[in-house]
């Protein structure tokens, strides 16, 4: 048998002056033999963790029925088109959010512990030095992220803040990702910087300013390489490659606009909460960048913080004019609970848009939504009480066939959230006996 098709490495990149661009999966990257091609096309699972603070109005979050074919609750209703990819998990609790014997109890303390414990399952220690535990995303990155250019990416819609409080290190409230018990990873909130971290030209303010002055484009700097590669691709691959380049150029254009807008405010005091920058625009860009990073296999692990604990951002598109944190303190008034539920639903609406982006992105024989598992939830249950049992938590995606969907799984009361973290590691084929305060795995 003679095989004449040219083969392109899955790790091939376009390189220009100060820039590099990863490529999507093309037919030319697969072995010519059909059986081998099918094997090579079989993707690895991706893992996304998305954090939202302040809990939820659980009466409007939790489905009334269990098992399959459950009725979507009002907050989760935007996810119903993706029913086959959704698992709602009830009765999970994060004991590390609460105080240990001798520690202060209270709302500010629980806010700090909630965000630090969400992916670690560990109790954060007060004091000048941060100490909590390795987070599930970084455990996964050590196991399955080492053969991608970036083991993981860490993103935040809001900038880092200095409002730490209660004797906690500021790292607890500014990141979800912990490479080790003492090593927090910074979260990037500027989409332009994220784009350049993924695809070249550096991420410093000086570099970005030079980029603006030159009005240069990543793709413009690679045109010669693009032309050279196109000559060696089939017609089908050329079409896929062209679609990909158009997608990159559009994201580059939008990130440049956001970056330019942010640069105008560098010398100004902090803008009022909820006014600038625009939440939906920035979040959409961060979602697009995550999809692009997965599509090009730049990374398989992503962590995203929709807001920091104690954030009082205003989400005007939700129809609620009160600040996020303020609204979570409902004072047990039904009217206030409904307002907070409207914010919860607005955030889920954004998650549904992310699901659509993943579903519309081919990944081998399936889509990125088929080959990804998204953990979405909060480290607090009721923002008014600052409780941490039960937590609003769901999974989205099928993890390359490892997860079913269309399920509301109700576990025994006070089941450790860390048991879910451990189970997710096993879903990702990461061998691990425990994480945080886990006691067992869950049947997910």
Segments of the chain with pLDDT less than 50: 1-5, 32-41, 202-203, 208, 212-215, 261-262, 264-276
Cβ within 8 Å of residue 409, ≥6 positions away:
66, 87, 88, 89, 90, 442, 443, 444
Q: What count of Cα atoms within 13 Å lies in the side-chain half-sphere of residue 188?
A: 20
pLDDT at 215: 41
Please give the pLDDT value at position 36.
40
Class of domain 13-427: alpha beta
- The pLDDT tens digits of the residues spanning 92-122 come to 999 999 998 888 777 888 999 999 999 999 9
Q: CA-to-CA distance for 7 and 170, rounded, in angstroms? A: 49
What is the pTM (predicted TM-score) of this model?
Answer: 0.80
Query: What backbone phi and psi angles, to 5 degrees, belong to 407?
Result: -140, 140
What pLDDT score was predicted for residue 263? 53
Sign of CA dihedral 290, 296, 298, 301: positive
């Amino acid at each position: 048998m003679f095989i004449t098709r040219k083969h392109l490495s899955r790790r091939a990149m376009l390189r220009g002056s100060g820039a590099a661009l990863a490529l999507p999966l093309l037919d030319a990257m697969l072995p010519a033999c059909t059986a081998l091609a099918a094997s090579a096309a079989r993707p690895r699972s991706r893992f996304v963790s998305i954090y939202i603070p302040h809990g939820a109005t659980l009466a409007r979050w939790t489905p009334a029925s269990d098992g399959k074919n459950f009725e979507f609750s009002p907050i989760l209703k935007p996810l119903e088109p993706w029913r086959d990819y959704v698992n709602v998990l009830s009765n999970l609790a994060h004991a590390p959010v609460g105080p240990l014997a001798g520690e202060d109890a209270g709302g500010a303390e629980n806010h700090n512990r909630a965000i630090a414990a969400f992916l670690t399952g560990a109790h954060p220690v007060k004091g000048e030095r941060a100490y909590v535990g390795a987070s599930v995303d970084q455990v996964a990155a050590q196991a399955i992220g080492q053969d991608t250019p970036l083991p993981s990416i860490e993103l935040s819609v809001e900038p880092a803040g200095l409002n730490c409080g209660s004797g906690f290190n500021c790292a607890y409230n500014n990141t979800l990702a912990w490479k080790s018990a003492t090593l927090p990873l910074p979260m990037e909130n500027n989409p332009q910087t994220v784009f350049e971290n993924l695809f070249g030209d550096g991420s410093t303010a000086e570099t970005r300013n030079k980029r603006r002055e030159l009005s240069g484009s990543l793709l413009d700097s690679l045109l010669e390489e693009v032309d050279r590669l196109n000559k060696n691709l089939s017609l089908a691959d050329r079409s896929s490659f062209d679609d990909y380049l158009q997608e990159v150029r559009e994201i580059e254009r939008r990130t440049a606009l956001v970056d330019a807008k942010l640069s105008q405010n560098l010398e100004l005091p902090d803008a009022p909460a909820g006014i600038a920058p625009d939440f939906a625009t920035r979040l959409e860009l961060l979602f697009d960048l995550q999809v692009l990073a997965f599509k090009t296999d730049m990374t398989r692990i992503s962590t995203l913080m929709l807001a920091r604990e104690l954030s009082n951002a205003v989400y005007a598109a939700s129809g609620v004019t009160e600040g996020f944190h303020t609204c979570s303190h409902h004072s047990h008034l039904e009217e206030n609970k409904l307002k907070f539920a409207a914010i919860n639903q607005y955030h889920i609406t954004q998650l549904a848009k992310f699901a659509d982006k993943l579903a519309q992105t081919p990944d081998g024989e399936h889509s990125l939504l088929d080959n990804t598992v998204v953990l979405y939830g909060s480290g607090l249950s009721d923002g008014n009480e600052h409780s941490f049992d039960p937590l609003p938590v769901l999974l989205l995606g099928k993890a390359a066939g490892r997860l079913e969907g269309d399920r509301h799984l109700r576990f025994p009361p006070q089941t450790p959230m860390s048991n879910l973290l451990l189970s997710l590691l096993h879903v990702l084929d990461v061998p691990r006996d425990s994480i945080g305060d886990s006691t067992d795995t869950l049947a997910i």
